[in-house]
Amino acid sequence: MKDQRDGVRRRPVSTRRAVLLLLTFAGCDSALDWEPDFTLSPPSGASCGAGWGGGPSSVSSFQYVCPTPESDAGLPLDASALDYLVPGSDPACALGIYLAVEGIPTVAVGEPFQLEYDEAEWGDAAAPMLPVEPAVATLARSSEAGVALLQPGYLAFFARQGSQVFDVTHVLARAATSLGLLSGLPGGPSLGVLPDAGVITYQATVGSSAQLLAYPQADDGTLLGGAVTCTFASSDPQVLAVQAEGVVAHLAPLAAGEATLTAACGGMQAMAVVSVTGTAANVDAAAADARDDAGTLDDAGTPEDSATDARTDTVEGPDAATLDAEVEQ
Amino acid sequence: MNLAGVAPIAVLAMLLASGCSSGSPPPALTITAASYPPLGGLASSTASVPVGIALELLATPTGFGSTEAIALRVDDPTRASISQMATDDQFVLTGLAPGSTTLRGLVNGQEVISLDVEVPTQPAQP
């Protein structure tokens, strides 16, 4: 099957943008009140930035490896929205927080995450990654998805080189008590933290687009990292189309009306009531905007086979509702 | 130049410099914390490493020759573990199970220091 994203040129998440994200979020909610001391690593394992400087080498660092997005479905959205959230199954990665700050990452109890250790010295990009293992094996569970901490609290991790411990760090696990929602509101330049689990309501305009992040949170609202499986569903896909990519949902308001978006992750659920206003005129305007942004898109294509196509359908007519209503269940 | 009379003076100077005078400190091993874990730490004669926490230690010998072999050991390896790090004088002490044990520092096979090690459970997370 062809990768439906082939036609979309996406800008990588940069450190600068991650910093901007942090600045954007700062003070909005305690969800971001954590202290990651890792750098973000993409699925390829390559490092995205200079790491935590506590290791024996000035550039050695622990790397928090972000899982590959679970879905490569088409994106019925303006490509610029991809700058906000990085699709995948780990909400910490979706926000790119690890790029920007140092500290101790906070993950959900029982949810897997992956660590690597980059031993690279200056100018030695080919240095191997060192294996990282929990300092107390009985307090963690290892699987293909990574390591999950079995109880709340800190756990040390060792980067080993043979029998020696090369470097040490700690990860904090906390119990997830509810599901938080973080949304890129249509038409707004910044993301907003939606209220805690429960029903929230916000307005959307036909032809606009938005992203929504579902994340496990501790009882004080702290966002918890670790890979989780989420589903998103729209009560009326003809009003609000939803496509899921891990913990990120792409929303496309298609027609005036009201739809309830339900997010479910790890046995927790949160809902958002989306009130969609506007008419086809909005759709036409959105289509015009899309044409203006064509420089960021590689392939307008035909409606049948690409993400760009789905996006085009979304802004061209009501039939798109059925095309874009593939909700991960 | 006649060096015949110089050598004994140089040897004496070396002996003095190497701590052979009566004023030199006795051989000792100083253990200091080399990291700041989120919990626990090292006090004057006690180390606290809650279960799951790792504390990096630096062991610095003084008053020995130039070929010290430093080793740290714990009496009860079910309570805490000690691992060698990348350099000979760096170690990491890890809390494994609640209780207490003793950390012993050895230089050239001879015990020169001991520390009480407390391994508490971690406080409940908020």
Q: Is the pLDDT of residue A51 over 50?
A: no
User: Over chain A, what is the mean pLDDT?
Assistant: 64
pLDDT at A49 > cutoff 60: no
Same domain, A216 and A157: no
Q: From the list B35, B39, B54, which residue is nearest A135 (CB)?
A: B54
Closest partner residue to A166 (CB to CB) among B38, B50, B86 is B86
Each residue's pLDDT tens digit, B14-43: 444 444 445 666 788 999 999 999 999 998
Which pLDDT does position A329 carry in this prediction? 28
- Please give the tally of structural domains in chain A: 2
Domain limits for position B65: 25-119
- What's the complex ipTM? 0.81
The beta strands (E) that lie in A150-198 are given as: 153-161, 164-174, 178-184, 191-193
Q: Assign residue A294 the CATH number of its domain.
A: 2.60.40.1080
Comparing A111-125, B16-30, B44-58, the range with the smallest average pLDDT is: B16-30
**Owning domain of residue A311:** 178-323
Do B124 and A152 count as a contact with CB atoms less than 8 A apart?
A: yes
A163 touching chain B per CB within 8 A: yes
Single-letter residue type at B58: L
Determine what percent of chain A is predicted with pLDDT higher than 70: 49
Look at residues A141, A174, A207 and tell me which one is the last residue of a structural domain: A174
Instruction: Answer with the one of A146, A174, A202 that is the final residue of a domain.
Output: A174
**For the segment A74-95, what is each residue's pLDDT rounded down to a tens digit?**
433 343 444 456 767 888 887 7
Per-residue confidence band for A41, with pLDDT thresholds at 50, 70 and 90: very low
Least confident segment among A162-176, A194-208, A231-245: A194-208
The reply to whether B89 falls in a domain is: yes
**Is A10 domain-assigned?**
no
Over residues B85-113, the mean pLDDT reads 95
Q: For A24-33, A167-176, A226-235, which range has the lowest pLDDT when averaged over its residues?
A: A24-33
Helix (H, G, I), strand (E, B) or coil at B20: coil
pLDDT per position as a tens digit, A282-305: 555 544 554 444 333 233 333 233
Per the structure, the count of domains in chain B is 1
Q: Is the pLDDT of residue A25 over 80?
A: no
Task: Note whether residue A99 is domain-resident.
Answer: yes
Q: Both A187 and A312 in a single domain?
A: yes
CA distance B21 to chain A (A): 37
Spatial separation of the C-alpha atoms in residues A129 and A40, rounded to whole Å:
14
Q: Are residues A101 and A79 in the same domain?
A: yes
Contact call for residues A155 and A197 (beta carbons, < 8 A): no
Q: Is residue B20 included in any domain, yes or no?
A: no
Ramachandran class of A146: left when φ > 0, alpha when ψ lies in -120 to 50, beta otherwise: left
Residue A130 has φ and ψ, to the nearest 5°, of: -85, 145
| Beta-carbon contacts below 8 Å between A and B | 63
Q: Are A30 and A221 in contact (CB under 8 A)?
A: yes
Is residue B19, in this structure, part of any structural domain at all? no
